Structures are given as C-alpha cells and as structure tokens.
A and B are shown apart, each in its own frame.
Chain A
Amino acid sequence: MKKIKKLTSKKQTQRRREWIIEKLLFSAAVISVFTTLAILGVLLFEAVGFFEEVSIIDFFTGTKWTPLFRDQQFGVLPLVWGTLMVTAIALSVAVPIGLGSAIFLSEYAPEKLRKIVKPILEILAGIPTVVYGYFALTFVTPLLQVVFPEMIVFNALSAGLVMGVMIIPMVASLSEDAMMAVPQSFREGAYALGARKHEVALGIVVPSALSGIIASFILAISRAVGETMIVSIAAGSTPKLTLNPLESIQTMTGYITQISLGEAPFGSLEYKTIFSVGLTLFLMTLVINLIGQWVAKRYWKRY
C-alpha cells in the first residue's frame, strides 16, 4: 500500500514537472508574438502622441521635412522618396548581378568552382553594414567623383550602388536555391529537343523558378528599404524630393539614426518623430515581406 502511494506520488511529481516544462517552453515560443505586439505597441503609442500634435494628413502628404529647423514641417514624403530612390539604385545593381551569378552557379559552374564561390558569397553576406558604409564613403564616392566631378561627397548614387553590392549575395543564393529546385528532367527534356545551354537556362530553368526568383527580389527590396548604416554614412542628411541621384538625400532610416545619435530628450516632439517615421518604415517592410512570402509559397507548392 505504501509502495503504491509512493509510486503514484512519484508519478504525480513527474507529471507536474512535465506540465511545468511544457509551459516554460511554450512561453519561450510565445515571446515572438509578444515581440511583434511590443513593436506595434511602442510604435503606435509614441506615434499617436506625435499625431496629436501633427496632423496625420500633413504627415503623409507633406512635401517638406524640416523638424530641426525653426519652421518645423513634418511631411514624410521626402524621406520615403529618398528611401525609394536608394532602393531603386540598389536593385538595379543587385538584380542583374545577383541573377547572373545565380544562373552561372546553378547552370554553368562546375561543382569545384561552386564550392569556392558559395562561401565567398556567404562572407560578403556576413560583412557588417557599417563596413559597407565606410566602403561607400571612402572608396566608391571618390571613384564616382572621377566620373562626375561636380558630385558632392554625400550622395544617393554611391550609397545605392554599395547597398546593391550588399544585397547581391541574398538575391544570388535565394535565386540559386529556386533554380536548383527545378527538376533535372525539365532540363533534359529541353536538351533532347536540341536546345542549347543558354536556351535551357533562360527558357526552362528561369521561368520554372520564376516565383522563387521574384520572391528573392521582393525580399531584397525589403532589405534595402530597412538598411540603415550605408545611407547614414554615405547618402547625406538633406531630405528632398529630387530625381538627381548625385545629390545629397535622406532616407527614413537615415533620419532615425540622425535623431538617435543626438539623444533627443524623451517625450519631445523630435523624439516622437523617431516613432512616427519608424511606424511608416515598419508598415512598408511588413507589406513587402507579406507579398514576398505569398509569392514564395506559390512557388514551393508547385514541385
């Protein structure tokens, strides 16, 4: 009788322990949900305070961003425009070069070469962005000034080009993954019909992997929109609506860094702009990421 009691109590403690551990692991998993809620909460809380002082319509439609001047204007469009311009420059570098690299690695390169090049791409992907910023300012900008002598030191072009280099590994490796997932029989079928290598690559492999490739472009856009250090170092700090990439501009991320550097006093309007601009940035990247995931999902279903 005693023995049975001891056994059941042992079983009970074991069961309790199992229960506690499950709940502990569950709470670790739920932290991610809290993180999202906290991001939204913090951004909305301070942004609401901001929009009590600045009209939300002026914020999203205004064409002047001058929070540090005497005549304060809070139109976020110049910052959004700067972000889009740098992103466009970055993509015009990263998309062709990344895609070309991916086609080469997936369709042309012998296994030995692939084994050398892929780790190098990983190195490129692991370099801190502040290093890219240094590279843009001290190497690429002087180089560009040889071509465009009238160009000033801080400009959108240099930052955008280097950001493109930063994103190449991401486009290349995601696109390559998508191409490698195309069944070998597709290629062989085309070869049997007399197609050449480039016709197989461009006519069969790329179209079959298209949604994976497009997903990699979309994720690249999201990376470029959120990238901070390169633009903070090399793109300048003059928010403006311009089409000229040789001019100094400012992105949303660049503005947030600029204000953060100076330790804006908590609760000031200047401090709150960090959150209203941050909210705009967060929502933009969220939408881009959701589109990217939707496209990627379509692709994974196919094979």
Chain B
Amino acid sequence: MGGETLLEEVLKLVIKHKSRTKDVWRKVKGDIVLALCLTGIVLTLMSLAALLFDAFQEGLPWLDIQFLTSFASRRPEQAGILVALMGSIWVVGLTALISFPLGVGAALYLEEYAPQNRLTSFIRLNIANLAGVPSIVYGILGLGLFVEALALGRSILAGALTLSLLILPVIIIVSQEAIRSVPTADREGAYARGATRWQVTREIVVPQAFPGMLTGTILALSRAIGEAAPMIAIAALVYVPFTPTGPLDRFTVMPIQIFNWVNQPQSAFRGLAAAGILVLLAVLLGMNSIAIFIRNRYQKRGR
C-alpha cells in the first residue's frame, strides 16, 4: 500500500516537473522561432545594404561628368558610359513604342472581347508560361529570329523587338488587372445607351485603366533596361565607337558595358563598373519614381 503511494507521489512530481519544463520549453521555442524569422529579415536587409555600400564605395570616385560624356576606352581614366547610356535609351524607347500598344491591345482583347473558349484559355495559359521563360532564352530567340532570319543584324531594332517580347507577358498581366478594376456598372451603363463594344472600351475602360497600364508598363521597362543576358545574345560584346543615330545601328547597353568592365582584370575597371552600376540604378530610380508618381496621382482621384 505504502509503496503505491510513494509511486504516486513520484509520478505526480515527475508530471508536475514535466509540464513546467514543457511550458518553459514552449516559451523558449516561441522565442527561437521569432528570432529565426527576424534573422531572415535582418539578413535580407543587410545584404541590400552591403550591395549598395559596395557599389557606392567603389563607384563614387569614378562618377563625374567626364564618365557620363566619354566613350568606352582601354584606359580606365578616359573611359565613360556615354555610348551605352544612349544605347539603353534608344533600345528602351523603341521597346516602349512596340510593347505598350501590343500589351494593352492583348489585355483589352482578353478582358473585353475574348469569348470563353479553348483558344482564350490557351492564350492565358501561354502568357503565364511565357512569363517564366528565362530571359537568355528570349535572347536566343532574338538571335535566331530577328538578327538572323529577319536579317535585322545586331541592331537596336533587333534588341528592342527581343525586349518587347520579353516584357509583353508582364505588360499584359498588369494591364488586365487595371482593366478588371474598372467597375462593370460603368460598362453596362454605356451599353444600355447603345454604345458599341469599341466605344465602351475606348470611352469607359481605357481612360480609367490607363494610369494602371502606364505604371505597369514603366515598371516592366525598368526591368528591361537592366537586362543583360538577352542583350548580350543580340549585341555581343564589341567596342562601339559611336552613339547610335538610328534603329538599325549597332549598339551596346549599360548592363553589357558593366559586364564588360567587371570582367577586366585590372581593379580600376571594377571602379568603372561600380560607377556604371550607380548610373543604371539612378535611371531605374527615376523610372520607378515616375511610376509611383502616376500611381499616387491616380489613387488620389478617389478610386
């Protein structure tokens, strides 16, 4: 009898102790989970800080007017980014002209016109898949299709067409979202008054969806201006001794020029690469600011 009570006592003690340690353990576990998640965020932010610090520290000493207005050169102190900067502006400008109308047109078709059939759902699936194709594959497509088969050569136009195909899926997807945010009631009101489909699209849908489409397109273009891989496939790595004057000229773009400088063994060229990165980031910042400005103005109007 007595032995049993002793056993009970011991068991009780063990259970009590266990539940207490379990409670402490639960709290510690919670702290560990929070600490790990926090570490994730902190590591991410630190990587960004290190990346920017690295570029500024190396690049700022090289960044001056001479750098912005000079051609590429074998002597680092004379080298500049002018040709690549102009090349990027040409390529992205042409890309905008090609991709914006096509992307918006495709989005309008899919949202306002397309019947619910197999072809439409195939087009949708296809766009989703294209968005996941690696950019270098687009470069290969441009090389085989535009540079060679259509005989455009390694020209600005070939580069712009390639980049247009690359960012079209993105433009279509964001434009579709912008179109979907237009209230159905607005459309129906116009239809009730006898408007045709195109009239509704042009007068009701496009004006309301336009800021969203524009914002999305600018963000897509800012991705295009940073693309190096497909541009290397199109333009290759050559010394271009002139700023472009037309869409059929040979060209180079900022990311290629940066890549070229990074690959040089002398450390001075690393500085040039960093300075080039700063210029590229400044351009990106400018484009993103414009996009955010448009978005904010549009939101203020009350939608």
Instruction: Using CB atoms and an 8 Å cutoff, list the residues of chain A in contact with chain B.
Output: 14, 17-18, 21-22, 24-26, 28-33, 35-36, 38-39, 42-43, 45-46, 96-101, 103-105, 107-108, 117, 120-121, 123-124, 126-135, 137-139, 165, 168-169, 172, 196-199, 201-202, 219, 222, 225-229, 232-233, 253, 256-257, 260-263, 266, 274-275, 278, 281-282, 285-286, 289-290, 292-293
Contacts and interface: CB of A to CB of B under 8 A. Distances in A.
A24 B48 contact: no
Nearest to A135: B51
A221 to B, nearest CB: 11
B113 interface: yes
Given A138-B270, A256-B233, A29 B105 contact: yes
A135 B55 CA distance: 8
Q: Is the interface of A mostly helix, strand, loop or mixed?
A: helix
Given A104-B41, A131-B280, A233 B123 contact: no
A104 B38 contact: yes
Contact of A21 (B44, B45, B198, B255): B198
Interface in B208-245: 222-223, 225-229, 232-233, 236-238
A134 B132 CA distance: 24
A17 B236 contact: no
A272 to B, nearest CB: 10
A101 B139 contact: no
B30 interface: yes
Interface residues of B, number: 87
Interface stretch (B8-16, B71-79, B143-151): B143-151
Given A33-B126, A260-B233, A274 B140 contact: yes
A156 to B, nearest CB: 18
Given A104-B38, A285-B133, 16 more contacts: A26-B113, A28-B103, A31-B102, A36-B130, A104-B34, A126-B223, A126-B226, A128-B226, A131-B51, A134-B277, A138-B262, A226-B137, A233-B263, A253-B229, A260-B233, A281-B134
A100 B54 contact: no
A127 B44 CA distance: 14
Contact of B133 (A39, A257, A266): A39
A213 B290 CA distance: 33
B29 interface: yes
A196 B30 contact: yes
Nearest to B256: A130
Among B129, B133, B149, B274, the most chain A Cβ lie within 10 Å of the Cβ of: B133
Contact of B44 (A31, A97, A232): A97
Contact of B113 (A25, A43, A128, A225): A25
B146 to A, nearest CB: 10
29 contacts: A14-B196, A18-B197, A25-B106, A26-B109, A29-B109, A31-B165, A42-B145, A43-B141, A97-B44, A100-B41, A107-B37, A108-B38, A126-B226, A128-B228, A130-B259, A130-B262, A131-B277, A134-B55, A198-B30, A198-B33, A201-B33, A225-B134, A227-B134, A256-B136, A256-B139, A261-B232, A278-B140, A286-B133, A289-B132
